[in-house]
Amino acid sequence: MNEAALKLIARHGYEAVSMRQLAAEIGLQQAALYRYIPSKQDMLFALLHEHMVALLASCQEQVEASPPRRLYSFINHHVRFHLARRDATHVSNMELRSLDADKRVVILDLRTRYEEKLRAILRDGVSSGAFDLGGLDGEVELTARAIIQMLTGVVVWFRETDRLPVEAVSRIYSNMALRIVGAKTAIREETACIATA
């Protein structure tokens, strides 16, 4: 049901899609759909909420690993998770503004919790000396934002090819993130901890 709704909203935009179209796409009578989802707003909220909850749940924190490896795993998981959920990612990026303020706050709170995982990795890397933010140690938040933003475009342009499979792209972006934070060395091999992506 979610996939059908996401596909429709990703293609036409939330404002342009009606509950009637959503019901038809899902294969339900409109009245039956309303029994599950009271309104189009509830539908959008459910889609965005599920996306963020899944992202948080699948992002494993490896507190025992070194900050560079944790950063590598975080980015690797982020890229793979979103590439596996293109429609949900697109709708989350484009339609957050269409959500009523009270619901938007809930999604933004989940996003903040997710970004906090990245900020914690950056802080640990700075304090252990593994990362060198180039005099910007106070700018962990800004750096975290830049890294997440850098990844956002991948879902838009990426098309898997032999030359550039998902694994290569996630590795390339992980190493770009390591460069941004001034990590001493790139990590080239695959990590085993991203199987949930």
Which residues are at the interface with its own copies (CB under 8 A)?
13, 15-16, 94, 97-98, 134, 136, 139, 142-143, 145-154, 157, 164, 169, 172-173, 175-176, 179-180, 182, 186
Cβ pair 14, 98 in contact under 8 A: yes
Question: Nearer to its own copies by C-beta: 34 or 114?
Answer: 114
Question: Nearer to its own copies by C-beta: 34 or 117?
Answer: 117
Q: Which residues contact 102 (CB under 8 A, 6 or more apart)?
A: none
Q: How far is the CB of 122 from its own copies (least distance, A)?
A: 13
Q: How far is the CB of 41 from its own copies (least distance, A)?
A: 15
Rounded Cα distance between 131 and 184, Å, is 7
Cβ pair 37, 123 in contact under 8 A: no
CA max distance for the chain = 60
Q: How far is the CB of 46 from its own copies (least distance, A)?
A: 21
Question: Nearer to its own copies by C-beta: 11 or 20?
Answer: 11
User: What is the token pair recorded at 95?
Assistant: 């339609």
Cβ pair 45, 99 in contact under 8 A: yes
Question: Nearer to its own copies by C-beta: 52 or 79?
Answer: 79
Cβ pair 64, 139 in contact under 8 A: no
Q: How far is the CB of 65 from its own copies (least distance, A)?
A: 21
